[in-house]
Amino acid sequence: MSRMGGATRQVREVELDLGRYELRRGGRPVKLEKKPMELLIFLVGRREQLVSRKDIVAKLWRSELFIDTGPNINNIVRKIRTALGDTSARPRFLETVVGKGYRFIGPVRVIDARFPRSDFEESPAAGPNQRLVSARDERPSLAVLPLCLLGNIADDHGVCLGFADALVSRLGNLQDVDVLPTSAMLNVPTEMSASDVGSRLGVRFVVHGAIRESKGQWRLSLQMFDTHLQGAGFTRKCDLDVNRLSELEDEIAREIAKALHRPLHAKKLQRPRYSKDHMAYAEFVRGYRLSSSGDPLLLDEAAERLSNAVTRDPGFSLAHATLSLACATRHFEFDPASKWLEKAEFHCRRALELDPNLPEGHVANAFLLWGPSKNFQHLEAISELRRALTLQKNLPHAYNRLGTILAHIGLLDHAREMYERGRPFQPRKVVNHSVVQVYIWNREFDLAREEIQAWRTESPSNKYPIYFAAQLSMMTGDWKEAKAVLDEAVRLLPEDPLIVSLLGVYWALVGKAEPALDCVTRACGTAKSFGHAHHTYYQIACISALLGRRAAAFEWLERSVSTGFACWPFFLNDGWLQNVRSLPEFEVLVGSLQAKYPDHLGLL
């Protein structure tokens, strides 16, 4: 009886509060450092089971290959035992299995964290999108992390990121394996364990490693970690010669493919992907890291770094293509000054002259073809994106741009499919937020509302989710919400024609013609149309239709179509165009668009 009473007091004595990340004994917090706490949580989660030292290494360290793990584990276990008031001689909580590892045997009260389920955890109320993610998780997926620098190396000259990108490029076309693009790795914390990286990105295999200098020689240690089996798929340690990086990258790519039981096709004869000039290579990697930020100031710095790279090595085709895409994005989204467009066109042309089979070169060219300077050449841009994806399949930019183009020409189901096909190459395997335009133009308002909410949470200052939120509120008749969001948009971008013309639609819908027409004048009065003039023209057509000006409305609609927005199913369903749909010329326009953009264009 007394033994049972002692056990009860023991249970009450120790609490592991996951939500507070705190260990308590007798209700009092016990100080425990991060690594011992992580190991304690890991051991308690596998209570009464043997946890090997290999499992512990995999859980606690990303770059364990250069760490003397034995003494480190011993020290961490000692700290856990001290915190629990335990001993190795007479263990009540943590038992040593000699030569194997440890087993947690003691009673402890675990207080679960009070937060929502993981994005990847099944739930009884999971919607169709969550079920799709679970189904896709059955397909092998892989992420390659930038290498870590250990020791006293001051500058890696771009090797850490460039090595990872080279492996991604070589492995990108593995059969039935989804390899995340390098851009998905740029915001992964360097201190995160491989197991946690897999959970964060939604992948099974994580390739990670480190560079360390020893006696003047760089040493590389690399591992492919299987997050399902919680163990290494393969490990490699070797000297790293920066002058022979390409050979080493090919060799390791073959080893990874072999470990995955997938054939790796021989690399086609082509120009080297990276420059042999160390300075050009380092500047490229720095610029590449900044080029996907979406911040205009960081895009400027990215363009400067990439310009330095091609100045140092004019034959660096990948740097030319990346610079072209950065300049095209700067021009399309933030600054329609001709200098950005001219740079984008020059460097795209140069990239494809140097390497006609460079996938990124064809993506850059598609971005230019599907832009205001080329009057949105839908068919030519689709062709370029198809070619890019034939050369390399793990290009999320290409799938997302295909989705956007197909939506603009009325192939909404195919557009949705392209966004879905890009999903495996997105962090956390989520669909790109731009799919919201498919939902709105297809009048799937509940899906649109969910996507907009997620987008605004992720990027509060981004104008696009604000724009779509206002549009959705107006289409569903939520006038109070629409005006509030529009006011927010106008504060953010008071002269943007896209926002101003949408405000005009609002005034027309609530029956106020004068401010609606004033918005038309303001929207047409600025030379800065950015890349969305066709949406401005469409919204002016809607204003005109709502105000009973049918002829003017149809003229603006034709102008919208001729400058890139030809989503005829939306024209047929949008209540704002109701007054125009009875015109004979409207029927002719829709028929011509259906003939020009047949369904088979959406097939990849």
Residue that wins the pLDDT comparison between 11 and 587: 587
Interval 556-568 mean pLDDT: 96
- Asked if the model's pLDDT at residue 63 lies above 80, the reply is no
> Which pLDDT score is estimated for 293?
72
pLDDT tens digits along 494-539: 989 999 999 999 999 999 999 999 999 999 987 665 567 899 999 9
Residue that wins the pLDDT comparison between 3 and 569: 569
- CATH number corresponding to 432-494: 1.25.40
Confidence of residue 125 (pLDDT cuts 50, 70, 90): very low
> Which pLDDT score is estimated for 129?
34
- Asked if the model's pLDDT at residue 396 lies above 70, the reply is yes
> Please, what's the b/e burial string for 424-458 (b: 16 or more CB within 10 A of its CB; e: otherwise)?
bbbbebbbbbbbbbbbbbbeeeebbbebbeebbee
Interval 414-419 mean pLDDT: 95
> Which pLDDT score is estimated for 46?
87
Residues 601 and 604: their CA atoms lie apart, in Å, by 8
Residues 366 and 348: their CA atoms lie apart, in Å, by 10
Residues 279 and 96: their CA atoms lie apart, in Å, by 52
pLDDT tens digits along 161-171: 889 988 998 99
Other CB atoms closer than 10 Å to residue 514's CB: what's the count? 8
> Which pLDDT score is estimated for 136?
37
Confidence of residue 601 (pLDDT cuts 50, 70, 90): confident
Residue that wins the pLDDT comparison between 306 and 57: 306
- Asked if the model's pLDDT at residue 2 lies above 50, the reply is no
Choices 1.25.40.10, 3.40.640.10, 2.40.30.10, 1.10.10.10: CATH for 268-425: 1.25.40.10
Q: Which DSSP category does 393 fall into? A: S
Nearest to 307 by CA among 326, 289, 294: 326
Percent of the chain at pLDDT exceeding 70? 90
Interval 453-473 mean pLDDT: 92
- CATH number corresponding to 141-259: 3.40.50.10070
> Which pLDDT score is estimated for 22?
86
> Which pLDDT score is estimated for 370?
93
pLDDT tens digits along 197-226: 888 888 889 999 999 887 788 899 999 998
> Which pLDDT score is estimated for 527?
61
3-class DSSP state for residue 267?
coil
Confidence of residue 11 (pLDDT cuts 50, 70, 90): very low
Straight-line distance from the first to the last Cα atom of the chain, in angstroms, rounded to the nearest whole number: 73
Residue that wins the pLDDT comparison between 117 and 173: 173
Residue that wins the pLDDT comparison between 75 and 517: 517
Residues 591 and 576: their CA atoms lie apart, in Å, by 20
Tokens of 78: 């000692």
Report in angstroms the alpha-carbon separations of 84 from 59, 143, 471: 21, 38, 58
- Asked if the model's pLDDT at residue 96 lies above 80, the reply is yes
Write out the DSSP string of 432-460.
Answer: PGGGHHHHHHTT-HHHHHHHHHHHHHH-T
Between the ranges 135-139, 155-159, 339-343, 459-463, where is the mean pLDDT highest? Answer: 339-343
pLDDT tens digits along 250-308: 999 999 999 888 888 876 656 678 887 888 988 998 898 888 777 788 889 999 999 99
Helix (H) or strand (E) segment spanning residue 563: none
Nearest to 203 by CA among 132, 138, 110, 254: 138
CATH architecture assigned to 2-111:
Orthogonal Bundle (1.10)
Confidence of residue 120 (pLDDT cuts 50, 70, 90): very low
CATH fold match for the domains 268-425 and 432-494: yes
What region, left, alpha or beta, does residue 419 occupy, with left being phi > 0 and alpha being psi -120 to 50 degrees? alpha
Domain map of the chain by residue range?
A: 2-111, 141-259, 268-425, 432-494, 497-604
- Asked if the model's pLDDT at residue 134 lies above 70, the reply is no
Q: 111: which strand partners?
A: 17
Residues 329 and 367: their CA atoms lie apart, in Å, by 8
* Burial class of residue 190 (count of CB atoms within 10 Å of its CB; 0-12, 13-18, 19+): middle
Residues in the chain: 604
Residues 233 and 205: their CA atoms lie apart, in Å, by 8
Confidence of residue 138 (pLDDT cuts 50, 70, 90): low
Which range is least confidently modeled, 63-77, 180-194, 306-320, 586-600?
63-77
Interval 409-436 mean pLDDT: 90
- Asked if the model's pLDDT at residue 579 lies above 90, the reply is yes
Confidence of residue 229 (pLDDT cuts 50, 70, 90): confident
| Beta strand spans in 90-162 (E) | 94-97, 101-104, 109-111, 141-144, 148-150
Q: Which amino acid is at 158?
A: G
> Which pLDDT score is estimated for 274?
81
What region, left, alpha or beta, does residue 99 occupy, with left being phi > 0 and alpha being psi -120 to 50 degrees? left
> Please, what's the b/e burial string for 324-345 (b: 16 or more CB within 10 A of its CB; e: otherwise)?
bbbbbbbbbbbbbeeebbebbb
> Which pLDDT score is estimated for 182?
86
Mean pLDDT (the chain, rounded): 86
